[in-house]
Amino acid sequence: MVRIGIIGAAGLSGLELLHLLSRHSEASVKLVTSTKYQGKNVSEVFPELYQYSLTFNSNETDVLGCDVVFLAVPNQASLELVPKLLDQGIRVIDLSGAYRLADTEVFAKFYKLTHTYPELLKEAVFGLTEFFRQQISGARLVANPGCYSTCALLGILPLAELLGELDQHPVIDAKSGVSGAGGRVEDDSMNYVSVNENFKAYKVFSHQHQPEIQQYLSELSSYSSDINGEVIFTPHLLPVNRGILSTIYLHFRKQVDGDQVIRKYTEFADKQKFVEFMGKGRFPDIKMTSHTNRCMIGTECDQSGQNWVIVSSLDNLIKGAAGQAIQNMNIMFGLDESLGLQ
């Protein structure tokens, strides 16, 4: 049994980890921390987690006996905790954005934080499971991807070999439920009456997942920002609890063969347990992936065959956060990748 600690267990991602892990046959949660609920029983505060008899701890470094710790805390807290945990010999899966970006200047710009442990950035493995399995299996530190990044990268990267033919930057118009956009933050903007019967774009040209998508798209494909320009990414806030749907626009220099596109997606999805390609002209909605660890993808082109629209969808709390984190944990500990996720 893998012994697990969850720092920030009472946040939305932490709670989702608890939900999923309650059905995991080879892992057991030993430590949960929460400043707000310190000393209270998990199942008392959250009756739906009745399977747990744990008490919320407030000492985030009281991780003795854990094999791995999930960090589900704000960026700054993660930044500081990671080296402390690694020093104690604990493996870490960080759900924050603290260790995802290679460039500390870009990090500073988008996160408004100075990166105090740049040496760890080289060691951190980006936890986009489908592309980094090998590295994840031996990693001490996994930087679990952002929800928007996972959705966009899994939507585009199956076409990696074709991206050199792009005439222009991809346009990623992404829509997320509230839990993916800072859900339980106690601020007016996430209040029910602010969100319900509403819809808006936010952080236009300034969301921190833009450089994340940019970096890994460049690293994993023939796409080049020098030639194609920066990825355009616009997040929006949907009045739903969970789910992300990304509508991605690619413009190629010349016609792209439809069969080739279908083959790329199909071959990719066939190798992956949690990616499904719906085919040309069929598109996922967020309900299809809700409460699952799956990313579903559909695509269509216009008559010219140069313009392609890709729609990808996932559950931001599962494949976009806690689910993918558990998928990565399974790999780190030599377990079946899908344990606890079906």
- Is residue 104 close enough to count as binding its own copies by CB under 8 A? no
Q: Which residue has the tokens 């970096």?
A: 215
The CA–CA distances, whole Å, from 195 to 100, 111, 190 equal 29, 24, 6
Contact of 278 with 300, CB cutoff 8 Å: no
Beta carbon of residue 330, minimum distance to its own copies (angstroms, whole number): 18
Site for its own copies in 139-178 (CB under 8 A): 167-169, 171, 173, 175, 178
Q: Phi and psi dihedrals of 233, rounded to 5?
A: -130, 120
Structure token digits, residue 123 = 């060691």
- Is residue 114 close enough to count as binding its own copies by CB under 8 A? no
- Is residue 113 close enough to count as binding its own copies by CB under 8 A? no
- Is residue 61 close enough to count as binding its own copies by CB under 8 A? no
Looking at beta carbons only, is 70 or 283 nearer to its own copies? Answer: 283
Beta carbon of residue 186, minimum distance to its own copies (angstroms, whole number): 5
Beta carbon of residue 236, minimum distance to its own copies (angstroms, whole number): 7
- Is residue 195 close enough to count as binding its own copies by CB under 8 A? yes
- Is residue 254 close enough to count as binding its own copies by CB under 8 A? no
Amino acid type, 194: S
Task: Strand 295-301: give its sheet, edge to edge.
Answer: 200-201, 232-237, 171-176, 244-251, 307-314, 295-301, 275-280
Amino acid type, 257: D
- Is residue 205 close enough to count as binding its own copies by CB under 8 A? yes
The span of 76-84, 92-100, 157-165, 232-240 binding its own copies (CB under 8 A) equals 232-240
- Is residue 251 close enough to count as binding its own copies by CB under 8 A? yes
Site for its own copies in 271-330 (CB under 8 A): 276, 278, 281, 283-292, 294, 296, 300-302, 304, 306-307, 309, 311
- Is residue 247 close enough to count as binding its own copies by CB under 8 A? yes
**3-state SS class at 166:** strand
Which residues are the active-site residues? 147
| Number of residues forming the site for its own copies (CB under 8 A) | 73
Q: Which residue has the tokens 């030993």?
A: 30
**3-state SS class at 61:** coil
Checking phi first, is residue 266 left (phi over 0); if not, alpha (psi -120 to 50) or beta?
Answer: alpha
